């Protein structure tokens, strides 16, 4: 995740005090708008666990009428039924959508075929004007840490494996080949999520979209424990072999810390270490698979 676009939390501030640098955001948005002119299709990556909170709210205006594919990445970490519902919701809104896993490549074959299909009309129009057939060009946009680089790497490897001859990267150009008739802009566009809603900030923080260095890790994990003890008490109990009833997140964090041997010299629980464990295990799906944005709203 790129550094330097967050302000650090204020001393003693227990809220998620996250502020993007506005100048940085405007510049990145302008860059995306410039690159848009070069492509036939936009691939918008969102986090499958939060398909709305992980979007830039201006995305419709930025992309305009250009054909767009919404890719729900990290679908391996989301509730499978939630993924299916969200794909349906996007389709109902007139957007093509597909759930993928950029680590094992699941869903990526569909991405290639959908991109080609979305570009068909434009390619036909270009040829009708007498232009020679060329590869379909697409660019990736998405918020920090949503998996843009992983997605590109996996898609490109798949493509080159299929054609099996030349290396995938065309030097001197900013395009990466995905098979012979599909090219990706090699630098993804970064767009920012919206932070004004504290609930959105919380969801982005617990899924890892915000750099941990700017956050109160202990406070965040306490909120997460509170949420999980309401949402999925059994998962918590099983994972951490808890016998006591759920409830007070402060006590829960201490118990988890001592069960996992997070002790400081002198024997007190190292709560920061315990907090990191809870967050890491939630982010890697060990505490269950969740879709945190409700598709039915
Ligand atoms: N489980 C899972 N993890 C993923 C997936 N895609 C990416 N990741 C992980 O998410 C993290 C961020 O991935 P990147 O590809 O670096 O994300 P990015 O959007 O390029 O991030 P920036 O360049 O910082 O904006 C990495 O730890 C990846 O391994 C996925 O489909 N499933
Ligand atoms: Mg990247």
Contact between 108 and 160 (Cβ < 8 Å): no
CA angle 248, 252, 254 (to 5 degrees): 125
Taking CA atoms, 97 is separated from 64, 104, 105, in Å, by: 17, 19, 16
- CA distance linking residue 295 with residue 91, whole number of Å: 12
pLDDT tier for residue 7 given thresholds of 50, 70 and 90: very low
Weakest-pLDDT range from 68-82, 148-162, 277-291: 148-162
Whether 292 lines ligand 1, by a CB cut-off of 6 Å, is no
- Residue 287 Cα to ligand 1 midpoint, Å, equals 19
pTM for the full model?
Answer: 0.89
Whether 280 lines ligand 1, by a CB cut-off of 6 Å, is no
Write the pLDDT tens digit of every residue in 229-272: 998 999 999 999 998 777 799 999 999 999 999 999 999 999 99
pLDDT mean over 205-226? 90
- CA distance linking residue 61 with residue 30, whole number of Å: 13
- Residue 7 Cα to ligand 2 midpoint, Å, equals 20
**Beta strands 136-142 and 182-185: pairing type?**
parallel
Q: Is residue 28 over pLDDT 90?
A: no
Ligand 1, atom 24, lies closest to the CA of: 1
- Residue 155 Cα to ligand 2 midpoint, Å, equals 14
């Amino acid at each position: 995740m790129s550094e330097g676009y967050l302000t650090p939390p204020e001393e003693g501030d227990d809220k998620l005090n996250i502020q993007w640098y506005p100048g940085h955001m405007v510049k990145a948005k302008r860059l995306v708008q410039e690159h848009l002119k070069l492509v036939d299709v936009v691939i918008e990556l969102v986090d499958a666990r939060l398909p709305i909170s992980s979007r830039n709210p201006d995305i419709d205006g930025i992309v305009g009428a250009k054909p767009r594919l919404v890719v729900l990445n990290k679908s391996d970490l989301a509730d499978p039924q939630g993924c299916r519902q969200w794909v349906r919701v996007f389709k109902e809104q007139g957007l093509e959508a597909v759930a993928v896993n950029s680590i094992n490549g699941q869903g990526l074959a569909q991405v290639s075929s959908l991109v080609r299909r979305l570009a068909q009309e434009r390619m036909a129009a270009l040829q009708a004007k007498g232009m020679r057939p060329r590869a379909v060009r697409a660019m990736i946009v998405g918020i920090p840490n949503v998996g843009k680089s992983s997605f590109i790497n996996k898609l490109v490897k798949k493509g080159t494996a299929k054609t099996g001859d030349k290396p995938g990267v065309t030097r001197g150009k900013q395009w990466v080949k995905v098979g012979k008739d599909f090219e990706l802009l090699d630098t993804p566009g970064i767009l920012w999520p919206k932070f004004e809603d504290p609930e959105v900030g919380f969801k982005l923080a617990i899924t890892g979209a915000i750099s941990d260095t700017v956050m109160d890790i202990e406070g965040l994990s306490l909120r997460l424990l509170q949420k999980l003890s309401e949402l999925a008490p059994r998962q918590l109990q099983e994972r951490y072999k808890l016998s006591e009833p759920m409830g007070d997140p402060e006590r829960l964090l201490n118990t988890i810390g001592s069960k996992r041997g997070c002790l400081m010299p002198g024997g007190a629980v190292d709560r920061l270490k315990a907090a990191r464990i809870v967050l890491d295990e939630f982010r890697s799906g060990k505490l269950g698979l969740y879709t945190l944005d409700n598709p039915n709203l």
